[in-house]
Amino acid sequence: MRRIVITGMGAVTPVGNNVEEFRTAIFSGKNGIAPITKFDASEMKSQVAGEVKNFDANAILGKAVARKIDPFTQFALVASREAMEQSGLAGTMESDRIGVCFGSGIGGINTLCTDHKNLLEKGARKVSPYFVPKMIYNIAAGNIAIEFKANGPCVAVSTACATGTTAIGEGYRTILHGYADAMICGGAESGIEPLTIAGFANCQALSNSNDPETACCPFDKNRSGFVMAEGAGVVVLEEYEHAVARGAKILAEVVGYGSTCDAHHVTAPDPDATYVTKAILEAYQGLGDIDLSEVYFNAHGTSTPLNDKTETTAIKKAFGEDAKKLHISSTKSMTGHMLGATGTVEAIACILAMQENTVPPTIHYAEPDPELDLDYTPNVAVKTPINGAISSNLGFGGHNAVIALKKI
* DSSP H helical ranges for 104-162: 109-122, 131-135, 139-148
Mind giving me the DSSP string for 189-246?
Answer: E---SHHHHHHHHHTT-B-S---TTTS--TTBTT---B-BB-EEEEEEEEEHHHHHHT
Q: How far apart are CA 153 and CA 102, in angstroms?
A: 11
Q: How far apart are CA 279 and CA 369, in angstroms?
A: 25
pLDDT at position 162: 98
Torsion of CA 306, 312, 314, 317, to 10 degrees: -140
pLDDT at position 288: 83
pLDDT at position 48: 98
Going from the C-alpha of 285 to that of each of 25, 254, 348, 406, the distances in angstroms are 31, 11, 20, 11
pLDDT at position 1: 84
| Contacts of 3 by beta carbon, 8 Å cutoff, 6+ apart | 239, 240, 241, 253
Q: How far apart are CA 60 and CA 33, in angstroms?
A: 24
Beta bridge partners of 218: none
Q: How far apart are CA 163 and CA 407, in angstroms?
A: 24
The 10s digit of each residue's pLDDT in 30-74 is 999 999 999 999 999 999 999 999 999 999 999 999 999 999 999
Which phi and psi (to 5°) does residue 109 adopt? -65, -30
Which phi and psi (to 5°) does residue 312 adopt? -60, -45
Helices (H) and strands (E) in the chain, counts: 14, 14
CB 227 within 8 A of CB 303: yes
Catalytic annotation present for 177: no
Which phi and psi (to 5°) does residue 368 adopt? -60, 145
Choose the catalytic residue: 101, 154, 161, 217: 161
Q: How far apart are CA 54 and CA 110, in angstroms?
A: 18
pLDDT at position 169: 98
CB 347 within 8 A of CB 404: no
| Contacts of 123 by beta carbon, 8 Å cutoff, 6+ apart | none
All domains in the chain, ordered by first residue: 4-245 (3.40.47.10), 256-406 (3.40.47.10)
| Contacts of 186 by beta carbon, 8 Å cutoff, 6+ apart | 10, 76, 79, 80, 83, 102, 103, 164, 167, 168, 232, 233, 234, 235, 341, 344
Catalytic annotation present for 300: yes
Catalytic annotation present for 242: no
Tell me which amino acid residue 241 is.
E
Choose the catalytic residue: 154, 216, 217, 300: 300
| Under-50 pLDDT residues of the chain | none
Residue of 14, 6, 2 lying closest to 252 (CA atoms): 6
Helix (H) or strand (E) holding 406: strand 399-406
Mean pLDDT of the chain: 97
Q: How far apart are CA 38 and CA 230, in angstroms?
A: 12
Choose the catalytic residue: 101, 216, 327, 337: 337
